[in-house]
Amino acid sequence: MPDGVVLTFALAAVVAVGVAVVAWRRRARTPAAGVLTAVSLGVALWSLASAGRLVAPSADAFLVARGLQFAGVYGTAAALWCLARAGTRPGWRVSRRTLAALALPAVALLALWATNGLHEVMAADTIDPAHPDTLVDRPRAGFWLGLAWAYGLMVAATGSLLRSWRRAGWYERRQLRTLVVSTMPPVVVSLVPVVASATGRPVVDWTPLGFLVTALLCTWALTRQGWTSILPVARAQVLEEIADAVAVVDRAGVLVDLNREATRLARMVRPGLAEPFVGRPATDVLSGDVLEPPGPDGEGRLTVALAPDLHVDARTSVLADARGRDLGRVVVVRDVTATELRRARLEDATARLRAQGEVLLAANARLTDQLAVNAVLRERLAEDAARDPLTGVHNRRGLEPALAAALAEARGLRSAASVLLVDLDHFKEVNDRHGHEAGDRVLRAVSAALVDAAGGPGTVVRLGGEEFVVVLPATDRRAALRRAEDLRAACARLRVPLRREDVVSPAPTVPTAPVAPVGVAPVARSTPAPAPTIGVTVSVGVATGPGDGETPDALLAAADAALYAAKAAGRDVVVAASAASPR
C-alpha cells in the first residue's frame, strides 16, 4: 500500500483532532459544539485505525486496528445522529436513555468483532498467500447488520435536518443547508468500499475523510454562520407567546388568524360576541379605529382609546406575496393604558408647574440678584480680610501666598525672586512726640510710597507696627537692590504735614537750634513759618531666592538679618543678605 495513503489518514486524524479542540472551546455557548467534538474524535479514531490496518506488521495488530476502526465507525455515526438532534431542537441534551439506546448496539457489534475468530459472524478472516503476515477479511452477516445500523443513523440525521430546513425561516435555512450538505460526503464516499466488499475487490475505504469534511463544514457553520445561536423555533409558539396582540385580516376584511393576546383583547372590546372569532368580519371583533387602513407606504400607526380604561397602540402593515400582490394586512396591537395614564398624570403635573412658573421665575430672578450681591460681598470681605485697615496694603495673611507663589515661579522659570524687609527709622519718637494720629499718617504715606516703588507685579505687606515687606517676583539681586534704593530714596523725600494738635511734646532744649530726632525733619523756630512736616527714613534688608533661601521662612529670615545689619550700619541704608557692606 502506498505510503501516501497512510500519510493521508494520519493527516486526517490530526485535522479531526484540531476540529474537536475548536468545537470543545465553544461548548459553553451551545450543546451542539460538544456533540461536534464527539464526531471529530470519532473521525480521528477511524482515520488512525484505517492507517493502522494498512501498516499492521502482524495479524494480531491487524485485528486490533480493525476493532478500533469499527469503534470509530459506530461512534461517528451515533455522534452524527446526536449532532442533527442538537442542531434542530432547542435545548436538546443527550439523555441517559438516548445514550444507552445508542451505546448498546455499538457495544454488541464491537463485542462480535472482538470475538470474530470464534464464530466469524462479522467477517471471514483468511491469510493472504502472498503475504503470510497479512489477513484478508470478507464481510459476513454481522458486518452488514452493523453497516445497516450506522447507515440508519446517518439517514435519520439527514432526514431530521431536511425536515427542519423545510419549516425553518430564511436565516435558519442558510445554516441548515450547510448541515444537510455536510452529511452527503461520507454517504457518497462510503458506497465505494461497500460495493467493493460485495464484489470481493480490495479498495481503500476513504469514508473517514468524508466524515472529516462533515466535521469541517459543521465547524464552519458554527464559527462563521452563527449556527446554533439561532435555532428554529415553531412560529406558532412564538406568535402565541408574544405580549402584543396580532391579528391577520384578508383582503375581504375577514379575520383569518389571531393570537392569544388578540383573543383576550377582543373579549374586552366585544364582551357579548360569541367565539370563535376567526372567520368573522374584523370590524365585528375589533374596533374600526384599530383597523385603520395603512398609509401610502404600506404602514399605519395610531393610538386609540377602545374604552375609558383601555388605550392601545395599533400598527397596520400590508401583507404581500413574492410578486407583490396584496394578501391582506396584519394588525399588531399593544396595550399602552399604563403609558397613557402616566402621560395624562404628567400633563396635569406640567400644567400645575406652568401655573407656578411666573412665581418661580420671579423668585429665581430675586435669588440670582441676591447671589450676585452675596458674591460681591464675599469678594469684598475676602479682600478686606487680607488688607491692613490702616494702610490698605496686604496684611500678614497675604504674605505667605504671595511669597510662595513668587518662589514657585522662580523654580519653574529657573529665575529668582526677591523680598525687601522695610523698617521706619525712629518711628517710636514720631508717636511719642507728635501722637499716634500723626504716626498713622506717616504709615499711610510710607505705604503709598512703597506701593509706587514696588510696581505692578510686586506685593506690599504690612507685618505690623512700622515694619513692611515687599515681595518682588522674577527679580534678581541686582534689580532688587535698585528697587530697594529707589524705595529708600522715595521715602526720604516724603514730608508728612503736621497739624497743630499733633505737637504734644516740645523739642528738647540744647545750646544750639533744636533739631528733630534722627528720621524726623527739624521744625522751624520762627513764627510765622511754613507748616511743619515730618521727614521719614527707612532701612531696607534685601534677600533673593533661591540663593538666600528656598522657602518663604528662610527668605524672610535672610531679609531680617540684612535689615538688622542696615540698622547697625546707621539706618537709612539698604543691605543685601549676602553683602558685606550696606549699599
Pair (461, 415) in one structural domain: yes
Report for 136-140, 176-180, 334-338, 364-368: range of highest mean pLDDT: 364-368
In a domain, 228, yes or no: no
Sheet holding 299-307, edge to edge: 255-258, 245-250, 326-335, 310-320, 299-307
pLDDT of residue 537: 92
Can you give the CATH number for the domain in which 98 is found? 1.20.1070.10
For residues 150 and 21, membership in a common domain is answered with yes
What's residue 538's pLDDT? 92
- Indicate the SS3 state at residue 254: strand
> What is the pTM assigned to this prediction?
0.42
pLDDT in tens, 459-498: 999 988 889 999 999 899 999 999 999 999 999 998 888 8
Cβ neighbours, 10 Å, residue 463: 16
Residues 487-504: pLDDT tens digits? 999 999 988 888 876 665
Instruction: Kindly give, in sequence order, each residue whose CB lies less than 8 Å from that of residue 575, ignoring residues fewer than 6 positions away.
Output: 539, 540, 541, 542, 562, 563, 565, 566, 569, 581, 582, 583
Which range of residues forms the domain containing residue 66?
3-223
302 and 270 belong to one structural domain: yes
Residue scoring higher pLDDT (581 or 342): 342
> Rounded to 5 degrees, what angle do the CA atoms 385, 458, 493 make?
100
Look at the chain and report how many structural domains it folds into. Answer: 4
Residue 583 in any domain: the answer is no
Neighbours of 378 (CB within 10 A): 10
Same domain? 111 vs 22: yes
Statement to judge: residues 315 and 184 lie in one domain: no
Q: What span, in angstroms and rounded, lies between the C-alpha atoms of 324 and 575?
A: 104
* Lowest mean pLDDT across 133-137, 270-274, 371-375, 397-401: 133-137
* Residue that wins the pLDDT comparison between 153 and 301: 153
Shared-domain flag, residues 372 and 402: no
Torsional sign, CA 345, 349, 355, 358: negative
More confident residue, 379 or 523: 379
Angle at 210 between CA 207 and CA 214, to 5 degrees: 140
Query: Could you read off the pLDDT of 549-575 as tens digits, one per residue?
Result: 889 999 999 999 999 999 999 999 999
Instruction: Let me know whether 214 and 250 are in one domain.
Output: no
Min mean pLDDT across 204-208, 395-399, 509-513, 546-550 is at 509-513
Residue 60 has pLDDT above 60, yes or no: yes
Looking at the structure, tell me whether residues 206 and 242 fall in a common domain. Answer: no
pLDDT tens per residue across span 427-463: 888 888 888 888 899 999 998 988 988 877 889 999 8
From CA 558, how far away is CA 543, in angstroms rounded?
6
Q: Are strands 467-472 and 533-535 parallel, antiparallel or unpaired?
A: unpaired
Q: Are residues 80 and 124 in the same domain?
A: yes
Please give the average per-residue pLDDT across 293-297, as a whole number: 60
Across 369-389, average pLDDT: 76
Last residue of a domain, one of 202, 223, 244: 223
Q: Which of 223, 252, 276 is the last residue of a domain?
A: 223
Residue scoring higher pLDDT (135 or 34): 34
Residues 451 and 530 in one domain: yes
Cα separation values, 544 from 119, 244, 352, 583, Å: 114, 83, 69, 15
On whether residue 230 sits in a domain, the answer given is: no
Indicate whether 548 belongs to any domain: yes
In a domain, 454, yes or no: yes
Could you tell me if residue 300 is inside a domain?
Answer: yes
Q: Which of 356, 385, 414 is the last residue of a domain?
A: 385
- Is 211 in the same domain as 112? yes
- Tell me the average pLDDT across 13-40: 78
Task: Judge whether 105 and 77 are in contact, CB under 8 Å.
Answer: no
Which CATH number is 473's domain given?
A: 3.30.70.270
Nearest alpha carbon to residue 462 among 424, 496, 432, 433: 424
pLDDT for 67 equals: 85
Pair 100, 184 in one domain: yes
In a domain, 229, yes or no: no
Output the pLDDT for position 286.
72
Task: Examine residue 581 and state whether it is found in any structural domain, yes or no.
Answer: no
Nearest residue to 300 via CA among 287, 286, 314: 314
Question: What is the tens place of the pLDDT at every residue in 212-235?
Answer: 777 777 777 666 655 544 444 455
CATH of the domain at 243: 3.30.450.20
Residue 577 has pLDDT above 80, yes or no: yes
What's the whole-number mean pLDDT along residues 108-128?
82
